[in-house]
Structure 1
Amino acid sequence: MRTITRFFWFCSGAYTPLLNRVPTETHKFIGIGGTVFFTGLLASISAGYALYTVFNSLLFAVGFGLVWGVMIFNLDRFIVSSMKKRDNSWQEWKMAIPRLLFAVLLAIVISKPLELKIFEKEINRKLDEQKTAMLASSKLAVEQTFSEIGEREAQKELLRKEIKEAVDFRDKLQEEYDFERFGTKTERTSGIVGLGSNAKKKEQQLDAAQEALDRLRESHQQRLDILDDEIRMLMQARTNAVDQLKPGIEAYDGLAARLDALAALGMESKAIKIAGYFIMLLFVAVETAPVFVKLISLRGPYDDLLDLTEHRVGVYVSEETAKANAKSSYRLEQLAESLQHR
């Protein structure tokens, strides 16, 4: 227990020999030291998580988190230890304003990574939505760059249309030929049963249309095969382009992406936005607590002893300065006398 007490005294920046002489002050400085220590611990955890999201390395995150936590601990300890209780409260508050502003800045920096961890599930869901939207927009952009596929599809449709028109024309001649053979009366048939001159003429027209259809099908089929091969190659190239984009989109999971997702969640949900503010305010309260404790606490025996110690040091320095000046003056006088006798 004594070791823990001395450790928190050290964290508070207090002078241990003086605290040993004023037992009534020990609890105050234990509280201040504990706040400073746990603030540094939270800063270490926060920085470690933030670096883990960036580098995805546990060793690197732990190492940097410890360095960051020690740095924040040292800064807080310096801020608290540099504040001394005086008789002028306004002067104390004026001197504390820069320290409070710096403490608020540290609290905001520390709270943000832990805020990301608290809302991790919601952020992951939002990141999935953003990745899906990014993938869809990327596919659309890639499809627009491969406009040749649509052009070739249009050419295929035109060729199929020409073949269909030729087939329809052949079927129409086939129908007229059948009507002519079986004696069905129409505007284009005679209504006479049998293979007469009209039927033979219809047969010749039908044969010519069939030959034209066969030639058209053969030539267009070659062109369709070429277009199919070109479309297949373009679609493969388009698929490869989309596949190349996927790793980058899937890797969209860094610190900046999570901060952006958290901001988007705050805009969508008022509850998350308010919760984020309260988390930040909590860390502001924790970070500024040692400073406020020093400001609002009454002047105690430790402060009197500290002033007395500093005064003694000042008196000692003044005495030694006076002695040094006197010795210097004496030596100068002796030097001046020796020079006169020469």
Structure 2
Amino acid sequence: MKLLWKAAGSDSYILQRSTYSDQVKYACLGGVVVATGFMAALAGGYAMYTIFEPNGSVLETETHWPTAIKAIIFGIIWGLIIFNIDRFIVAASGVGDGTEKITWGELGGAIPRLCMGIIIAITISKPVEIRMFKSEIDSALYAEQQELQKTYELNTRENFKERFIPLEAGLTNIENERNKLLARLTDIEAQYADEIRIVRPGPKAAALKTLMESLALKLENFDNERKPEVDRLKNEKLSLEQELSAELSKNQTVAAGLDGLLERIKLAHELAGFWISLFITLLFMAIELTPIFFKMMLTKGPYNYMKDNVRELLLAEQGIEIHYDYYQDKKGQERIKVEHHQAQKLIHEKKQLLVAQQKLNENIIDKWVQKEIDKLDTNLEDYITTSKS
């Protein structure tokens, strides 16, 4: 309970001497502050892990422990920061006018604290929101990654298509020329085979055989002549295919990069809808702003009066007097006057000491002057010097 009192920014020395109801009130107040810090630690750690985890398929569930350890450390630090800010906000908030009603004046004075609380609530709610809808977000994000990868792949193949065309055209032309020679050679071989079936092949068979040998030699020469060019075109095509494969792999990496915190928050809003997202944010705002409204609704109890009494005793012990509503400024606002009696006493003593010292110095100087005058009357020659020409 003492730890919760400290979390609420209250004085445990006074609360121990107060009523049980006051003790419970401030323990509950401290519990809300601790809970906010705990939720901030979880939200900050999860956001940190989501931002810095390695990119990949959103359906992969394996935990990256180096990033997880860093996220845990960051989450603890972030939770302590939010806890300290909340503790300051609650401690700096007064009890208001001491009634259960929240007046417009109290609300106006609490606006800066309310703004800070709203900002903190939003920063806590968004990571928690994307964790609540993680399954739905992962499914939608996976579909977006696949669509993006498909688009990148089509664009990449379209960009490489222009570079493949001349290589394929060159190989196709060489293959067509060879096929023509091969087709002609095959036709001559068929005609020759028909001729040699005759018992006594004639001059036509001899001519066909000569032509067949000539075409075979021509085909062999064609292959030998075009082999360097074919090898070059095939090597260039293979190199271009490897480059295309590398670019397609890059596209997969780029598509996998669509897994950041901003994209998840956007999908969470789209999937959950405006009202569900709003109610989740309002829930965390209620938790965050409860201590501020709670303090404005608190009625003054024994703890508050004893706290005021201790404050006045400390001021009196230090010689500090406060005059409330002492004067009005130019805008008509009541101002207080603070008198520091111990400081004024010390200043007065210092002034009197300086005045006395000044009087002593003046008296000393007067006495010294009178003494010198007496010496001058009796020993005038000692004070006269003459110059020799």
Return the TM-score normalized by structure 2: 0.67
Report the counterpart of residue 15 of structure 1 in structure 2: 11
Partner residue, 1:252: 257
What amino acid sits opposite 2:261 in the alignment? R
Aligned pairs, how many? Answer: 321
Relative to structure 2, which stretch is displaced further, 106-115 or 56-65? 56-65
Displacement of 1:161: 4.7
Gaps of 5+ in 2: 54-65, 193-200, 322-340, 365-389
Distance 1:78 1:296 in 2: 18
Pick the aligned partner of 2:24 from 23, 27, 49: 27
- TM-superposed deviation, 1:223: 5.1
Aligned with 1:104 (options 94, 107, 118): 118
Shift of 1:325: 3.8
Which of 331, 337, 343 is the aligned partner of 1:321?
Answer: 343
The amino acid of 2:109's aligned partner reads M
Calculate the TM-score normalised by the size of structure 1: 0.75
For 1:228, the equivalent position in structure 2 comes to: 234
**CA displacement at 1:227 relative to structure 2:** 3.1
After superposing the two structures, state which structure 1 stretch, 221-230 or 231-240, moved more: 221-230
Instruction: Quote the RMSD (CA, aligned, Å).
Output: 3.9
Amino acid at match of 1:235: E
| 1:298-309 → structure 2 map (5 Å cutoff) | 298-309=299-310
User: What is the alpha-carbon distance in structure 1 between the residues aligned to residue 68 and residue 220 of structure 2?
Assistant: 72
Tell me the alpha carbon deviations over residues 252-295 of structure 1, each in whole angstroms, 9 at most, x when there is no partner. 276xx13213314533x3x3554333222221111111111112
CA distance in structure 2 between the partners assigned to 1:221 and 1:31 by the alignment: 88
Structure 1 CA distance, aligned partners of 2:178 and 2:268? 57
User: Residues 51 and 61 of structure 1 are in contact (CA less than 8 Å); yes or no, is this contact kept in structure 2?
Assistant: yes
Say whether 1:239 aligns with 2:245. yes
User: Which of residues 80, 85, 90 is equivalent to 1:80?
Assistant: 90
CA distance in 2, matches of 1:74, 1:261: 29
Judging changes above 3 Å, is the alpha-carbon distance between structure 1 residues 157 and 326 closer, same or farther for their aligned structure 2 residues?
same
Distance of 2:72 and 2:164 partners within structure 1: 52
Distance 1:61 1:264, change over 3 A: closer
Q: How does 1:327-342 map to 2 (within 5 A)?
A: 327-342=349-364
Q: Identity over the aligned pairs, expressed in percent?
A: 26
1:151 partner amino acid: P
What is the rounded CA distance, in whole Å, between the counterparts of 1:266 and 1:172 in structure 2?
A: 73
| Equivalent residue runs for 1:1-342 within 5 Å | 5-23=1-19, 24-53=21-50, 54=52, 56-87=66-97, 89-143=103-157, 144-145=159-160, 147-161=162-176, 224=230, 226-243=232-249, 245=250, 248-249=253-254, 252=257, 257-267=260-270, 269=271, 271-315=272-316, 316-318=319-321, 319-342=341-364
The AA in structure 1 aligned to 2:120 is: L
Q: Does the Cα contact within 8 Å between 2:125 and 2:284 map onto a contact in 1?
A: yes
Deviation at 1:35, TM superposition (A): 0.5
Provide the rounded CA distance (Å) in 1 between the counterparts of 2:223 and 2:361. 130
Name the counterpart of 2:367.
Answer: none
Which segment is superposed worse, 325-334 or 273-282? 325-334
Alpha carbons 1:11, 1:37 under 8 Å: kept: yes
CA shift, 1:213, in A, is 7.7
For residues 36 and 74 of structure 1, the distance between their equivalents in structure 2, rounded to whole angstroms, comes to 9
Distance 1:326 1:236, change over 3 A: closer
Counterpart residue number, 1:192: none
Higher helix share: 1
List per-residue Cα deviations over 1:27-70 (Å, max 9, x = no partner): 22112111001100111111122222315523322222111111
How far has the Cα of 1:138 moved from its partner? 3.6
Higher strand share: 2
